[in-house]
Amino acid sequence: MITDAVRAILEDRIDETIADPTRAITLPPAVYTDPEFFEFEKDSIFMREWICVGRQEEIPERGDYLTVTIADEPLVIVRDETGQIRAMSSVCQHRSMVITDPGFLPEDKWYGEMSESSGNCGMQLRCPYHFWVYDLRGQLVGAPEMRRTEGFDRREIRLPNLKVEIWNGFIFVNFDLDAAPLAPRMWQATEYLENWHLEDMAVVDLGRLENLPWNWKVMLENVIEIYHADRLHLPIHEMAPASKMLLTPSSEDDAIILSRAETTHADYSFNATMKALFPVIDTLTEADTSVAYFGIAPPTMSFGTSADSLLYLLTIPKSVDKIDLVYGTLFPKKLLETRRFKEVQALSSSGLNDLMEQDVAATKSVQRGLKSRFAPRGRYSWQEEPIPHFNRWLVKRYRSALEMV
């Protein structure tokens, strides 16, 4: 439902937010703070765009699954009996229990939110409530004591399936079954990151931070702009200074927005030494290692490169001012087998922890400030050029949703 409040927000100098970066202003604070606007975004953004939900190596075997909740829609991502990755609603088509939730909760879990889960379900997904059973394609194959129910035919019941596309090992899903393919719209990232061979890398340090108190767009804006990088992040970010940012054109039809900065040395990385602690990825060219890349594939995925790895983040919205953050680092698989990999990786990730502590402080404070009656419609530095590109991406989708009403 598009309310009068949503329309008023989208009429508030919105054209100025998508102007040339030298003239653009920031989005209305309400797009980050208004609950009605977040409800509008559920349909205008999250039900229509490609959403990154994880890596294919997280579910390597048949029956492996992971869960994610996007805009109040619980999903299960599973590798079926043929090896194909599927994404389905995890809401049982009987009485709406989420089939991947547990059938038992200890008292200390009664008042918290349900946690996401992963594992192997064999060849079936079974709802704990009444033992309705679905195969790995979502078809209902078992429903106890339904013989007396008139007109009931389990062959007519299945879990709704989403569209799935794999890009460089990342799993993307789309609620819109008629959505155009993702890959052609990721062309810039595909081109720039070709020599990283992301599809052949392995994720380590996979983790999750829950209930972080800021809007999903605040998170993506923080990743994509370099203006703060060698200010908030000094000295760790000195090897890719904001003054060395390379302008990167972007279209609102693209699925990714990139930011780039020249590096001061080829073996760059984000730790106290500012150098990669592992060997530089051997397929990278001199041109590859002379630039640090940062990107967002809205609404969930973001990433940043180092000469030996790639860090990615998945921003999972829970409300207008609450997100979960899934994170992982990709390394060439052969590195995982080297002596003392875990010890060196612990040192390498310490710098990323420092960056995260600084980013959390900033993004949490930004959300606090956006709620103020004195929150500005600020101007952008040239080093924030990717944010107006992101504004264009957003505004096009907001307006498309309005036109469909």
Averaged confidence pLDDT in the chain: 96
Closest CA to 53 of 88, 82, 102: 88
Same domain? 159 vs 242: no
Tens-digit pLDDT profile for residues 375-399: 999 999 999 999 999 999 999 999 9
Helix ranges (H only) for 34-140 are 35-41
* Whole-angstrom distance, CA of residue 197 vs CA of residue 181: 21
Q: What is residue 347's predicted lDDT score, i.e. its pLDDT?
A: 87
Residues 267 and 395 reside in one and the same domain: yes
255 and 364 co-located in one domain? yes
User: DSSP labels for 117-162?
Assistant: -EEE-TTEEE-TTT--EEETTSBEEE-TT-TTSTT--GGG-BPPB-
So what's the pLDDT on residue 352?
82
Q: How big is the chain by its Cα radius of gyration, in Å?
A: 22
- Report the amino acid identity of residue 327: Y
Q: Both 383 and 265 in a single domain?
A: yes
Residue 139 has pLDDT above 90, yes or no: yes
The answer to whether residue 175 is domain-embedded is no
For residue range 341-374, list pLDDT tens digits in order: 999 998 888 878 888 999 999 999 999 999 999 9
* CB of 174 closer than 8 Å to CB of 53: no
CB neighbour list of residue 291: distance below 8 Å, 6 or more residues apart = 246, 260, 261, 262, 263
Is the Cβ–Cβ distance between 383 and 225 less than 8 Å? yes
Tokens of 403: 């036109």
Residue-wise pLDDT for 105-138, tens only, equals 999 999 988 999 999 999 999 999 999 999 999 9
The CATH number of whichever domain residue 97 belongs to comes to 2.102.10.10
Out of 130, 165, 200, a domain closes at 165
pLDDT tens digits for range 182-218:
999 999 999 999 999 999 999 998 999 999 999 999 9
- pTM for the whole thing? 0.96
Strands 201-212 and 170-174, sheet pairing: unpaired
Contacts of 169 (CB under 8 A, 6+ apart): 55, 56, 57, 198, 199, 200, 201, 330
Q: Hey, what's the torsion of the CAs at 252, 200, 269, 281, to 10 degrees?
A: -120
Whether residue 177 lies inside any domain: the answer is no
The answer on 207 and 349 residing in a single domain is yes
CATH assignment at residue 363? 3.90.380.10
pLDDT tops 90 at residue 272: no
Domain membership flag for residue 172: no
- Could you give the maximum distance between any two Cα atoms of the chain, in Å? 74
- For residue 13, the number of C-alpha atoms closer than 13 Å in the C-beta half-sphere is 13
| Domain match, 43 and 65 both | no
Helix (DSSP H) and strand (DSSP E) numbers for the chain: 10, 17
90 and 188 inside one domain = no
| pLDDT above 90: residue 92 | yes
Element (H, E) at 190: helix 187-192
Strand pairing of 245-246 and 201-212?
A: unpaired
Rounded CA separation 6/4 (Å): 5
Q: Which amino acid is at 82?
A: T
Residue pair 158/171 in contact (Cβ under 8 Å)? The answer is no
**74 found inside a domain:** yes
Q: Where are the alpha helices (DSSP H) in 236-318?
A: 286-289
Shared domain check, 192 and 98: no
Burial classification of residue 261, based on how many CB atoms lie within 10 Å of its CB (0-12 exposed, 13-18 middle, 19 or more buried): buried
> Domain check: are 371 and 303 in the same one?
yes
Q: Count of domains in the chain?
A: 2
Contact assessment for residue 5 and residue 37, using Cβ atoms and an 8 Å cutoff: yes
The kind and range of the H/E element at 113 are: none
Q: Are 264 and 307 found together in one domain?
A: yes
How many Å apart are CA 9 and CA 185, to the nearest integer? 28
| Domain boundary pick from 165, 190, 225 | 165
Same domain, 100 and 200: no
Q: 282 is in which domain, residue-wise?
A: 4-48+182-403
Are residues 159 and 229 both part of a single domain?
A: no
Domain boundary among 165, 193, 213: 165
Query: Tokens 């937010």 correspond to what residue?
Result: 17
The answer to the question of residue 138 being in a domain is yes
